[in-house]
Amino acid sequence: MPDLDPTLAPHDLGVYIARSANSLADEYRRIRSRASQDPGTAGDEGEENWKELLANWLPSDLIVTSKGRILGVDGTLSGQVDVVVLRPGYPRALINRKVYLAGGVLAAFECKLTLRSAHIAKAAANARKIRRLSGVRVGSPYTEANGPILFGLLAHSTELRRDPIGRIDSILQGELGRDEHPRELLDVLCVADLATWRGWTTHLPGHGPNWGATRDLYGLPDNGGSMVMYMRAQATPSLADILWAMLERLTRRIAWELPQYQPLSQYLTQAQGPASLSSSVASRVWTFDYLSPDVARRVRGGGLTNRGWAWDPWGMIS
């Protein structure tokens, strides 16, 4: 991981994030220097790095803890996750029990010191399991296309040496094909010295003056559908930009679930400026059949809105 000079950041917030990026890079070098002697401890230290970073940068009333499994309402347990973010108001008696109630979990992460391709497949499989045990939500395109528990994969660096970005793009495309529902994709995959990938869903109704061209461009069905995508920055980002993109996406998803954080989320997006621009690197089209009957009927009848980045659960972008 190369160091980033904080003085080059164009915004004060970028300076603060750059300092965190440099600290993460320093920790990676320190841990890697002794990893061969004690790989178990190295992995634990890497997880603690991410736990500390999330605790320092996510909204301060969220509880960030480590190592545990998530308990579904039917008693089903997830596999172990490395970092867990609990919703405000989580019962104090259960915070340290290491089996976390799905209804009180806001986000969960797997953390790797050095990412391998197999880690991505494992994390995607775990995301599917967690989304399935967290229950089905109905009521709007947003709530039905997104699970209540955010899930991500965080790594300091990667062992992929030949076109690592392209290889990760390809792996994510393959994992989209294994998903059984749009809500099962990863919300974020961050390799701190490489790039951040963000899960994204856009709903495209089967009508409008330019519908024919849009349909043909994206390979959509005649009556419209949802495009589920992984987005990545268009330009090669700095280390600060990579972390900023990760924090921006997590805060945005958190703000959908907890609306009091919407002003903070909007600030993170706007302050990032051109570095926030990204494009689809993996995608899959779903017909509206995955939606509940009432929501699908309203969507097909013109119920989607197009208000840009407004916090609208019936908006085209989620």
Q: What amino acid is encoded at 284 in this protein?
A: R
Per-residue pLDDT of the chain (318 residues; tens, 9 = 90+): 444 444 444 689 999 999 999 999 999 999 988 776 777 788 889 999 999 999 999 999 999 999 999 999 999 999 999 999 999 999 999 999 999 999 999 999 999 999 999 999 999 999 999 999 988 899 999 999 999 999 999 999 999 989 999 999 999 999 999 999 999 999 999 999 999 999 999 999 888 788 888 888 888 888 899 999 999 987 667 899 999 999 999 999 999 999 999 999 999 999 987 767 889 999 999 999 999 999 999 999 999 998 766 899 999 987
Q: What is the pLDDT of residues 61-86, one digit of tens each?
A: 999 999 999 999 999 999 999 999 99
pLDDT for residue 90: 97
- Greatest Cα pair distance, the chain, in angstroms, is 64
Q: What is the pLDDT of residues 266-287, one digit of tens each?
A: 999 999 877 678 899 999 999 9
Angle between helices 39-57 and 12-34 (to 10 degrees): 170
- What pTM value is reported for the model? 0.92
Distance CA 14, CA 308 (A): 25
